[in-house]
Structure 1
């Protein structure tokens, strides 16, 4: 029920339409969202960098079918690339990959090409209806000599992920290993032990390949099992979720990175975080 509410546009309109509704919601959301504007997000990013954590900034947006809108998104990311030393993140549906895969690849290449000095553009995972398009786009751009400036998110709950890991690692793409946030009708392991076991197997696969990768999970038991087995693998977390864990990992000499999202489309992202905090 919580996840359904988190994707309900009508609920967002109702809450924001109530007297004081938007500001009250924003006060709660600001734990997880860096800001409604770029300047606010940059301040949060700088604060995280000062604490010794890396960052990856993401402008909220998805499901674009307008090439002109996608070009505006590219412009925003190109400016971000100049304004921060951190990494960047985005979902390919924000770049109109559903209607213009070739154009989306060109847009990704423009953003990735603006990053230097070991910085990456991390591509988010979306539902399995887009997994092939996302993989094809990332590999296409990596094939243009930009593999060392790209990151791809791989979901442990998908049965196809071992093959995707091999393809990304071969292309020199950094891999962010997550459990997976989407309930898929087919081709996925059940949540719980089957997904946890798949995660551990994929972690060992990445280590054996010598891939550039990171642990992106808030499951402490799973994280520590991987760190004990494989050493100081970089760890990524979402802004606002157990920051004390990141501080402890940093003090242990483990590289850390914080996902720093921002933009006007913050409401439903916040509700997803609320749902997850309730165990959904």
Structure 2
């Protein structure tokens, strides 16, 4: 992992950098021009238009209203209302449109029990066949995220839930077993956070862990998808396991998605939107330095 990638990840959580960039003459316009490749829009209508275009091309979508690190339960309650409105605005089934969110957007750190209730409220409102995918957080939050997902799955909502497993975390095989046992859909990613401990080194060790987890998921019988832009890893697993669904981020190698669809491999695109786009964009730039 290069030093520049680590620095960019730290900058991605730096509010001062965001304020300074937007305060410069033309700064926000220039930043948005670069970010708009990866972001579906600042508002819901723009994002829904982007999603509609992807759906027309045969790609499923998972829509995410940006947000994380919410500490106020009242703010988290408003997030729930935003997600309920988004769910209502999605094109009707059988259109393959899911939702995605990070649990810290629901005040996981300060109110874990309330976060589970909020997650359940959104999940319960989804029609059959739709899912709410819970995004990855850093390793320090993995216990809380897993507990929240399993809590909501235990309320009879497992068939409308999805969880994200990070291959670089040493704990992930046990998490896969827990999620598989609960009947929760799994999105398998390499893992992008800079972990202080409990993680495999970036590179070969994480790639091997990813392969092992993919086979574990396949043997476990749960529904799952590989979310990676690593072509060698993806093709090796498609050859070994058949047409496992592939998920990608908006704006990253879109031509690959079309090629996969031509091969009848199911595809899904993560479609994020909202006013908090700046730091998400910096994360994508950081990940491009080796992800």
TMscore range, shorter length: over 0.9
Match of 1:201 in 2: 212
The whole-number CA distance in structure 1 between the counterparts of 2:184 and 2:192 is 21
**2:162 is the alignment partner of 1:121:** no
SS at match of 1:55: strand
Deviation at 1:117, TM superposition (A): 2.9
Match of 1:44 in 2: 50
The whole-number CA distance in structure 1 between the counterparts of 2:54 and 2:84 is 21
Match of 2:163 in 1: 152
Match of 2:189 in 1: 178
The whole-number CA distance in structure 1 between the counterparts of 2:198 and 2:178 is 18
The whole-number CA distance in structure 2 between the counterparts of 1:107 and 1:258 is 24
How many residue pairs are counted as aligned between the two chains? 280
**2:29 is the alignment partner of 1:23:** yes
SS at match of 2:39: coil
Deviation at 1:128, TM superposition (A): 1.2
The whole-number CA distance in structure 1 between the counterparts of 2:139 and 2:169 is 9
Match of 1:9 in 2: 15
**2:93 is the alignment partner of 1:87:** no
User: Deviations 1:149-197 (Å, cap 9, x if unpaired)?
Assistant: 0000000011111110111111111000000011211111111111100
Gapped regions of structure 1 (runs ≥ 5):
none
**2:264 is the alignment partner of 1:253:** yes
Instruction: Please give the TM-score of this superposition, normalised by the length of structure 1.
Output: 0.98
- Please give the residue correspondences for 1:60-139 in structure 2 after superposition, counting only pairs within 5 Å: 60-85=66-91, 86-139=97-150
Deviation at 1:23, TM superposition (A): 1.1
- Which consecutive aligned stretches of 4+ in structure 1 deviate over 3 angstroms post-superposition? none
Instruction: Please give the TM-score of this superposition, normalised by the length of structure 2.
Output: 0.94
Deviation at 1:115, TM superposition (A): 1.1
Cα root mean square deviation, aligned: 0.9
The whole-number CA distance in structure 1 between the counterparts of 2:128 and 2:156 is 15
Deviation at 1:277, TM superposition (A): 2.1
The whole-number CA distance in structure 2 between the counterparts of 1:157 and 1:18 is 38
Instruction: Pick the aligned partner of 2:249 from 218, 229, 238.
Output: 238
The whole-number CA distance in structure 1 between the counterparts of 2:162 and 2:215 is 19
The whole-number CA distance in structure 2 between the counterparts of 1:117 and 1:147 is 11
